[in-house]
Structure 1
């Protein structure tokens, strides 16, 4: 779960207090040492969480004007997350600072709105969607040998090409200590498994049963992959029924944090935001006035000279 969503649960409290104009003297808590008023509480919350809370509230308002996210879409994402986390779901919410599922649902909705804003300009071909569809209808069982560099990966591949045993080579060379005790076995993998590296999945799902890949580089190192089994899902759906859904999923899978941020920036610029609270004037500067890296580098060089 993304860290920024934490502020949404705080935002509701701040807005609720802000709506009490004219009642700023109302007492929130009484003590023998003095009372705490709504104004005092609002100012304290604003000082600590104000910018984050304002950002998230504006994000939802601005994005909701152009894009729609249904309760059904949020429910689906919630169900997916629950399935992925299993018994750890509730603990994950608490560790991320959410009071309950309703708090998290609100942040999930904003994230989906931002995805839609960023994905609208992504182009995918009919062939890409069909390939994605075919991969979604099956599950593979795979094993791998993970090493630190390409040279070692090529050496291992050469040994496999000569007929040496995959499991024995995994135990000898693989740095994946969890998998190499099982001969490199990774178990069953689906194309939308969030725990697996995207580059790894793309390479693995192109393989036929028992086929061994050439070295594949990911963020973890260099892999030699073998698919040991391929099974069609029992509830296979027709392409026409899921085409639009899969096209959107494919677009979203191509997004990265920079694209999400740029899409959000464009929507905020169109909204022409004017912050009236002087203490929160700079709340959107990190997004709207983000310095360009090239410019920063040039400035640094000039300063050195």
Structure 2
């Protein structure tokens, strides 16, 4: 989730800035104190987020010409996020400032375009993909009930063993937001670094439909229910998907920035608005990692060749 949260409020601003262009004299708000025109709104938004908004719009325009993200790819990625967040998906969009799911899809599409550009020259071997496949476990869907102490956890487990419904007990006992939805956590991944290790270990040891004994984690005591545990798909069916996942896992901020720099230079981007002339400068002026390495090596050599000081000679 964190991969896209930072872009959300900016994306809302981009939509607004684009909507304000054209027909600048049109009145968009009236009051006894005076009217607000599209020009005034545009200038205000440009002053506040202009550089960032224009940067995103330019990158999207450039990448759309060179790379394609199909609706099928977008739907698949969106489903992953919905599965991971479960009932919290809508809340996350609202908190991030998105008007609706369509607005979020636009940002998600841009993220996937950036991924494709940044992974263009990354190579992975068949051996790496095969090893990744062997180690990867399918994601599972889980519910949980979390309480503060072991005594309460055992009490809940006893009620479950006696036939009471998991969702009802989650609403009654659970001490986190998932209580509102009967304990639903959505989909979890074995390799999710944000998920507690003790929780994952207990959850992935369960069979589909099985409920755990009380499990202690850093957050409290859990009762875990696995509602869906898919079988591992055939290697040939997931090879392409896993290859891309591996490539993405090799990305860092520098490699993404360098990819955007390459694409912007190739597109010969020029900013005509003098107020926004530096919109893409942070990307175009970003130093190449190779140059930094060369500078460090050069500095080491200079240090070796420098004359010794009196203190060193002694």
> Shorter-chain TM-score: what band?
0.5 to 0.7
Shift of residue 77, structure 1, vs aligned partner: 1.4
1:41-56 equivalences in 2 (<5 Å): 41-56=41-56
2:81 maps to: 81
Q: Deviations over 1:101-142 (max 9, x none)?
A: 1111111111111011111111111111111122235689xx
Cα pair 2:261 2:284 within 8 Å, conserved? yes
1:153-192 equivalences in 2 (<5 Å): 190-192=189-191
Shift of residue 4, structure 1, vs aligned partner: 2.6
The DSSP-based 3-state class of the residue aligned with 2:20 is helix
Cα pair 1:118 1:260 within 8 Å, conserved? yes
Cα pair 1:93 1:104 within 8 Å, conserved? yes
Give the whole-Å Cα distance in 2 for the aligned partners of 1:79 and 1:292: 36
* Selected match of 1:252 from 215, 230, 248: 248
Give ranges in structure 2 of 5+ residues lacking alignment: 141-186, 202-228, 300-314
Cα pair 2:55 2:280 within 8 Å, conserved? yes
Cα pair 1:8 1:57 within 8 Å, conserved? no
Distance 1:128 1:292, change over 3 A: closer
Give the whole-Å Cα distance in 1 for the aligned partners of 2:189 and 2:45: 44
1:103 maps to: 103
Cα pair 1:5 1:107 within 8 Å, conserved? yes
* Selected match of 2:21 from 10, 18, 23: 18
Give the whole-Å Cα distance in 2 for the aligned partners of 1:138 and 1:14: 42
Runs of 4+ in 1 over 4 A off after TM superposition: 137-140, 188-192, 291-296
1:56-205 equivalences in 2 (<5 Å): 56-137=56-137, 190-193=189-192, 195=194
Shift of residue 285, structure 1, vs aligned partner: 1.0
Give the whole-Å Cα distance in 1 for the aligned partners of 2:274 and 2:123: 42
The alignment's TM-score, normalised by the length of structure 1, stands at: 0.63
Give ranges in structure 1 of 5+ residues lacking alignment: 141-187, 205-232, 299-305
The alignment's TM-score, normalised by the length of structure 2, stands at: 0.61
Shift of residue 12, structure 1, vs aligned partner: 2.0
Give the whole-Å Cα distance in 1 for the aligned partners of 2:89 and 2:259: 30
Distance 1:262 1:32, change over 3 A: same
Distance 1:117 1:90, change over 3 A: same
Cα pair 2:63 2:113 within 8 Å, conserved? yes
Give the whole-Å Cα distance in 2 for the aligned partners of 1:39 and 1:69: 34
Give the whole-Å Cα distance in 2 for the aligned partners of 1:17 and 1:189: 41
Q: Deviations over 1:223-263 (max 9, x none)?
A: xxxxxxxxxx7533222222112111111111112111111
Cα pair 2:84 2:188 within 8 Å, conserved? no
Give the whole-Å Cα distance in 2 for the aligned partners of 1:12 and 1:249: 30
Shift of residue 8, structure 1, vs aligned partner: 1.9
Shift of residue 10, structure 1, vs aligned partner: 1.9
